[in-house]
Each structure stands twice: as structure tokens, then as C-alpha cells.
A = this chain, B = another copy of it.
């Protein structure tokens, strides 16, 4: 690797050029360069210029590793997601990546698999890597654990309401979303509406269920508990839930699933039993995943802004890192009407 060679390669980052080298080139000390880089002190215009020049011509890029060691920032933020392999979180991760990169930070993604212990491990690992802050998407950690974490470094958590110094949270109005889906079905004339819940311990699902109950009651309807079935958010569980109901000869004309994946499964279950959607049974999901846009028939669903959620979480982290407290608001849920629900003909 000749020097010539390394000069040639255009994208070749910061190879050997150190802060010492730009200091020398600019005729100042490394301390001064550092201060200019960090905006830590006011510097004379002349020196600032000289340093800027040196940086540009040498193509200097600060070494985040050294920065991290020196107790400065690593310019990286940990992002714990529940899954790397989920259509729902994927959009959020991309949103986080975009915003973080724009602000000069690098995300460190790691997945907790919906498991509290695993999530603890993730947080520890992230801290040992000296991230500047941690974003948790739908954390499994308890409120106290989160609060404790936030005393060490800035934390942003989605999916719950919890505020503290250095801790920002971002939550979606699942209750309202649940009501919207149910009211829509009610307006179409449906009265016997199945609700397929997600994991029993999952708050999002419970809130959506509350919205469902609220809407039915507000409509003067009693709730038939046989219409409440449980899945685990997977397509398979949605199909099984519906087939179980059909086998038990429970009558219904509509299904509201706590997420799109179960709604998709429910549609398949109905299809297997020869029931046409939406002619015989209407189906509404929750999340508005890409997969629902192209299934047959395209799925009516409550839109959840997962990409924006990722972006907002990242912005909140950047604000926190800047020493201010963010005040961000997620868009309200809204129903996206497609073709899986229609008038009740029962």
C-alpha cells in the first residue's frame, strides 16, 4: 500500500491522519483543534480558518474510538429493537438510521427478542461499548430499570409513557386506534366482531382491546367474551384463532386483529374454511404493514407510523444529547381503508 495508492482511493477514511497532523499543518496545538471540533471554546478567527483548511486538505476525520476512550463522546447510540427480522421494526430502524446519520451519529443495532433478560444484556453491552445514549423500541425493561439506566446516560423509549431527566418516551395511542377500527366495523353494520389479541402481557395489545371494548359499549353493545381470542402476533396464531372459532361454531361477521400479521393469518384461516373476505367476513388489522398492501384482498388497517417513530426517537435522542429535553408528538392513529372490510350481510 503505497502512500500514492492511499491518496488515490477516494472514500478511504481518515487512514493515518490524526489530530496531531492537522494541528501541525495549521500551526496550532492539538488541544486547539480539539476545541474547535467540539465547539468547546471560542477561538480566534484566524486559527479557526487555518484549522478548517488543514482538516479539509488532509481529509481528517476524528477517530471515534479515541474520542470514546478519552471520555468524550463516541458519537454512537445504541438501539435495542425487539427483532431485526420483523416488517414492523424494520421501518423504525431505518428511520432511526437516517436521523442519526444526519446528525453525525452511528446507530448500534442489537435485538432483545422480546426478552427482559436479553434486553438487560443488550443494554450492558451497549454501555461497555460506550455509546452516548440508548434508544429502546418497545422496551421489556421495567420502569425502574429504565429510570436507573437513564441516570447513567440519555435514554429514549417507545411504547410507554415515562418521563425523567435524561429520559424521553414516545407512545402511540393504541386505545384510540382500537376504537377507530372497531367503530369503523360498527359503522359497516357489524355487531359480532372478533378481537384477536396479541401476547397477553403486551401492553399495546391490551390498549387496543380497551379501545375495542370502549367502542362496543359506547354503541350500546354487550361484549361477548367468546369473541375475544388470543394469539401471539404471528400469522400462524391468527389463522389458528379463527379456525378455532369456526370449529366452535361461534358466529361472527367481522374480525379485528391486534396486528396485521394476525389479520393476514386470519384471512388465510377464513380462506381455508371457504369464507370469503370481505363478502362473508370483514377483516381489519393494525400496523399497516407493507405486506397488507399487497395481500388479497388488500388489508384495511390502522396505520402506525413506525418509520416516523424511529425518526422521532432518534431526534429525541439528539435533543437529549444536546442537553435539552425533547417534546415530541407522534401522529395520531388513522384507519386506512382498503378492501378487506365491507358492509355486514349477516
Contact = CB atoms under 8 A, between A and B. Distances in A.
Interface stretch (A59-67, A218-226, A251-259, A320-328): A59-67
A124 interface: yes
Q: Assembly of this chain: how many copies?
A: 2
Interface in A112-140: 120-121, 123-125, 127-130
Contact of A65 (B14, B61, B74, B261): B74
Contacts of A236: 294
A93 B85 contact: yes
B106 A125 contact: yes
A106 B106 contact: no
B296 A267 contact: yes
A9 interface: yes
Interface string A211-240: 000000000000000000000000110010
A195 to B, nearest CB: 20
A268 B128 contact: no
A84 to B, nearest CB: 4
Given A268-B296, A295-B295, A97 B84 contact: yes
A1 interface: yes
Interface residues of A, number: 61
Contact of A235 (B13, B123, B152, B294): B294
Contacts of A293: 235
Nearest to A267: B296
A128 B294 contact: no
Interface string A79-95: 00001111100110110
Interface in A1-22: 1, 9-14
Most buried by B among A65, A109, A264: A65
